[in-house]
Amino acid sequence: GRLEAVTQQMGYHPQYLDSFLKTQHYLMHMDGPLPFDCRHYIAIMAAARHHCHYLVNLHVLQFLQAGGDPQWLRGLDYIPPKLRNLNEINKILAHRPWLITKEHIEKLLKISEWSWSLAELVHAVVLLAHCHALASFVFGCGCEQDEGLGGRGSLKALSSGNQCFCEATAGNGCSQELLRINRKRSLDSCMELDSLRERMQRIHMETEGREEMRLLQQDREDGKVQGWRAAVPHLDSPTGLSPPGDPDGAVTGATNLACYMQDPDFGYQDFARRDENQTQVFRVQDYSWEDHGFSLVNRLYSDIGHLLDEKFRMVDGLQSTAMAKRQGCEPSVFKRGIWNYIHCMFGIRYDDYDYAEVNQLLERVLKVYIKTVTCYPEKTNAEMFDRFWKQFKHSEKVHVNLLILEARMQAELLYALQAITQYMI
């Protein structure tokens, strides 16, 4: 049930939560171009770009539940070349999506033993954008360091004690079917964990070489078989989710996820400081989600366009009266200011918008927070969160993080889908 912390935060807006869970379920568990284990491994690759242990650990467990090869969890050197080739656009989409070109797309789709189909690539791109944006939400709302990981005390859970979040919102827009699905997933995760450990241990014993077997013998001093750790080095605690500074002495922290990344120093750079040779400003009037992206993604990956469009519209329809009132403007004006500011950081511009409004609507401390959560979420800390949010309800803090999630995801999709369109022409 590791998604529980996310659903608790999103649950302040039950209608949005319903839309999010439908999209997440469709992406990960329903019929689609990609095998189920590959979907979760792509999610691991995406979350690792932002050092998001929360999402990596969640998808490692689901990857194994889907029958994934534990050897893949050793890192990119142990996965099929076809999947490894996705690393380049994963890196670019996560940090500088304006660098995506039709040449990147062509390289993945070219005729070879490891080529992608258009449908597979669209599925993969949506997964990457989804997980990059969700990592921003995870850090922005403190889920990366929730109570289960001994972290940020300033962020309070929606419900107290052991009450399930879905029970707290059962009468407030969260459907009974979603309640059943979430409870079943949490129960299944708990019941299957022991069998997963046994499976990992058995596979390890069958495949490890002599040197690693010798090291394994040294780890058996306490009489316990812990060979499965060699295959999944970041799953060290009894629950498979170890906090930083694990008493076992296992390596924890950002270095744990290095095996899922290449070029780890590649990160966000201000679009405004780009070189003259780089991509020009992306104008929504020339390529928009409504007029171009929606139809392309829906044609190549059936129905996902409708789910994504519903989610974009849902976050736009959420109420933010108190925030807007404090800024002295209409809610729609305040939300558009945040949305356009996020898109502007990725080089996306709206010809019909006066960007001077951004500085008038958004205080500097809010702009710093939004930019950090959007562009390098792993740098978000409790002090940044507390400095701005004292004046607002927790639900409104979550609302801003939902705007960041959706605006960032749409920005990544626009660049990727435009590159695919250019390739297809």
Q: Is 313 contained in some domain?
A: yes
How many domains in the chain?
1
Q: Is 150 contained in some domain?
A: no
Q: Please determine, for residue 171, whether its predicted confidence score (pLDDT) is greater than 80.
A: no
Confidence of residue 158 (pLDDT cuts 50, 70, 90): very low
Q: Please determine, for residue 115, whether its predicted confidence score (pLDDT) is greater than 70.
A: yes
Q: Is 205 contained in some domain?
A: no
Q: Is 297 contained in some domain?
A: yes
273-276 long-range Cβ contacts below 8 angstroms, 24+ apart: 274/98, 274/347
What's the sign of the alpha-carbon dihedral 284, 344, 340, 141? positive
Q: Is 155 contained in some domain?
A: no
End-to-end CA distance of the chain: 44
Q: What is the pLDDT of residue 90?
A: 97
Q: Is 245 contained in some domain?
A: no
Q: Is 190 contained in some domain?
A: no
As a whole number of angstroms, the distance between CA 150 and CA 145 comes to 7
Q: Is 161 contained in some domain?
A: no
Residue whose structure tokens are 């950081």 = 345
Q: Please determine, for residue 119, whether its predicted confidence score (pLDDT) is greater than 90.
A: yes
Q: Please determine, for residue 359, whether its predicted confidence score (pLDDT) is greater than 70.
A: yes
Model pLDDT for residues 386-395, shown as the tens digit of each residue: 776 677 788 8
Q: What is the pLDDT of residue 145?
A: 65
Q: Please determine, for residue 186, whether its predicted confidence score (pLDDT) is greater than 70.
A: no
Measure the CA dihedral 381/383/385/386, to 10°. Answer: 160
| Amino acid symbol at 24 | Q
The H-assigned helical ranges of 151-227 are 165-168, 176-207, 210-218
Lowest mean pLDDT among 83-97, 188-202, 392-406: 188-202
Q: What is the pLDDT of residue 10?
A: 94
Domain span at residue 356 reads: 4-144+258-424
293 three-class SS: helix
Lowest mean pLDDT among 69-73, 201-205, 354-358, 376-380: 201-205
Confidence of residue 320 (pLDDT cuts 50, 70, 90): low
As a whole number of angstroms, the distance between CA 17 and CA 141 comes to 15
Catalytic residue at 52? yes
Tell me which of 52, 141, 143, 344 is the catalytic residue: 52
Q: Please determine, for residue 176, whether its predicted confidence score (pLDDT) is greater than 70.
A: no
Q: What is the pLDDT of residue 327?
A: 66
